[in-house]
Amino acid sequence: MVKTHIPGFPRIGAQRELKFALENYWHGKSSRNELVDMAKALRMQNWNIQAESGMDFVTVNDFSLYDQVLDHSVLLGVVPQRFSDGSCDSFDNYFRMARGHAPSGSATRACEMTKWFDTNYHYLVPELSVSQQFILNPEKLLAEIAEAQQLGHQVKPVIPGPITYLWLAKCAAEEFDKLTLLPALLDSYKGLLKLLARKNINWVQIDEPALVLELSPKWQEAYRQAYQTLSTCGTGLKLLLTTYFGALDTNLDLTAYLPVDGFHLDAVRGGDEFIRFSERLRSDQVLSVGAIDGRNIWKTDISAVAQRLKSVAAQRGENLWLSTSCSLLHVPVDLEQETGFDSELYSWLAFARQKLAEITLLKQTLQGESSDQLAANLRDVTARTQSQRVHRIEVKRRVNGLMPQDGDRGLPYTERAIRQQQKLQLPAFPTTTIGSFPQTTDIRSVRARFRRGELDEITYTAMMQAEIKDCIERQERYGLDMLVHGEPERNDMVEYFGEQLEGYTTSQLGWVQSYGSRCVKPPIIYGDILRREAMTVSWSRYAQSLSDKPVKGMLTGPVTMLQWAFVRDDQPRSETCLQIALALRDEVVDLEQAGIAAIQIDEPAIREGLPLKQSEWDFYLQWAVYAFRVSASGVQPETQIHTHMCYAEFNDIIQAIADMDADVITIETSRSNMELLEVFTEFRYPNEIGPGVYDIHSPNTPTVEQIQALIEKAATLIPAGRLWINPDCGLKTRGWDEVATSLINMVAAAKILREQRLAA
């Protein structure tokens, strides 16, 4: 009989229970035991949901208090030296690695954080030394296996694969070939598998998403070496080698002949590759087909998928497993919590719990069982394709009418910069922030009361204006040169705009983990995008009226508005992105006409959207860069366009970033100690740049000396006349006390540099 399972389940909780438990512990509002108990209850709940939905295995070790890669680093003993000072126990040291700070222990620099492949999930980058020792600490994994088994579940533990782990890691101090560590790493994996074999486990899921990348021969050979070594462990465990986020392509034969007992393939992004792959397997090997989309929220056409699977089901029989394409970490927990969607939209959607039901329905369909659920599924997916609310002819005509010059600012940066400086009169090393300021409990309460109808619009506007006025006054006291309005009216940088653009809809409780306790609620793009009226102009106009200093208008860019939403799957993403770009272009023009002299169009997701296969980069970068330029190019040369990027490796697309032609780009560099700027030793970035000088995701407050040292390091790579000084991201997650001290220190460091420049 066909078996069912999933690669992973959301861990944050349907009501964000883990988020609140973590933050209460960090802030001293609850005990460690309370956090541990909440985590245990969530794991139990997740396993019960899987079992009750008909899954033959429950997935164990997909749960984490912060990040699964960080968990694996701790399991392997990969703990950087700066966390080995003995100032706290292992529990709090884990959070020091994640955040640089914990309820106990000394503060230090947190581990670098970057995007998990092409998702908006952030993982903590392992730091490896040339003499790295791997020492197993498997207690967490073994304890969770025991918990699940005591509840009577058939357990399938999941661990990151050795090659993907090395691929994701960085060299901590000096560059070396990470693969030289593979033999020692494999010894630890063999030891771990032997421990698991004693726990009455049949299958272990071993995740190797790096197999969907375009690997060099050296890394391909590493896969052969690694799995040949693991296959000789003699543990009796069966390994399910799991890939996702794309097709294997040139790695198909390499993967198919690795000596493991089963494989999981992504049949959503990988198309019908699983059919060819199945033909290469032995009859006794399992093929798990990820046929239900684990990264998007649209209901699956079960009849169509069953037809795709028909030949493989006949060929593999009981050795066919059904699953989601990847972990359900990337989608919200439960659609049944939502009461705000109209019945039509609701009928098109499936969140994590509903995707489990889809797996079961797919299994029943393949086994020839007809049901009312299958008929209802077909009715719903057909209705979506025929809905009149999806397509707008006026939007399509405008996109089709775009010309190359619509992405042109009219004058080159060198000429624009002169005009902008004449208008803005900024000092050397100008200081600014990325946009948001602390989202206090009071601010969130006011927004919630307004949504519930407890405040009228006049009262709400007055209260938000009071917050904006406070933000402006604070920035002037701190001495910042270019101000922001603080964004008190915004719940999220993408959701806020999704609530105002037609073609988007938003959920009530559709939370998805971004990192640690940080959750986002991605809007849903169901149709063509249209801006009916201005979205930010009144707030920006008011803020600018309060100060003689320039106040930036703040927008989220078209690529990020695409990437950080659940996107319609019935047209090319490039077309949807251009629709968003045109809506934003209208907003940019309106901001300029309202007297806003600098406008920031954030694009933190542009690197994240890069295809995993380098051969596909050029096409993506062509339309992504053009979309940004379309959004920014409706204004006069005197208007200064900013953009912001964070938590991704930008060096490999630096030319495309330059091609965006923003007048100023601010980027995250503090966690990497300015390593991301090393690209400028070879690439002459043509415009202005603000490398982040302190990590806003850590509660540590930077000193003047620390900020000054980072700026001086940046100044060796970027001409001082084009260097801005700013934090590395928005400040909404921080408290005012730490924000005030950090920004005052930042401004002080900038003044020291100005004095030094004048003295020279």
Q: Which residues are catalytic?
A: 697
Alpha helices in 533-572 (DSSP H): 537-545, 558-563
Spatial distance between the Cα atoms of 548 and 268, rounded to a whole number of angstroms: 53
Query: Strands 598-602, 553-556: parallel, antiparallel or unpaired by DSSP?
Result: parallel
The number of C-alpha atoms within 13 Å of 400 and in the hemisphere containing its C-beta is 6
Residue type, 725: I
Amino acid at 580: I
Contact 637, 665 (CB under 8 A): no
End-to-end CA distance of the chain: 79
CB of 713 closer than 8 Å to CB of 125:
no
Q: Could you tell me if 696 and 669 are in contact, meaning their C-beta atoms sit under 8 angstroms apart?
A: no
Q: Which residue has the tokens 């000789």?
A: 232
CB 659 within 8 Å of CB 685? no
Could you list the beta-strand ranges (E) of 469-559.
Answer: 502-505, 512-515, 518-520, 524-530, 553-556
Give 324's strand partners. 292
Q: Which residues contact 667 (CB under 8 A, 6 or more apart)?
A: 644, 645, 646, 650, 676, 689, 690, 691, 692, 728
- Taking a C-beta distance cutoff of 8 angstroms, is the pair 687, 413 a contact? yes
Q: Which helix (H) or strand (E) holds 574?
A: helix 573-593
43 SS3 class: helix
Question: What is the spatial distance between Cα 574 and Cα 593, in angstroms, rounded to a whole number?
Answer: 29
Nearest residue to 76 via CA among 187, 173, 175, 179: 187
Residue 212 Cα distances to 80, 208, 269, 589, 647, angstroms = 29, 9, 10, 41, 22
* DSSP result, 103-170: SSS---PPPPEEESTTSS-EEEPPEE-TT-------HHHHHHHHHHHHTT--EEEEEE-HHHHHHH-E
Q: Which residues, in sequence order, are bridge partners of residue 599? A: 553, 641
Residue the block writes with tokens 């495309």: 656
Q: Could you tell me where the beta strands, DSSP code E, fall in 221-285?
A: 238-242, 262-266
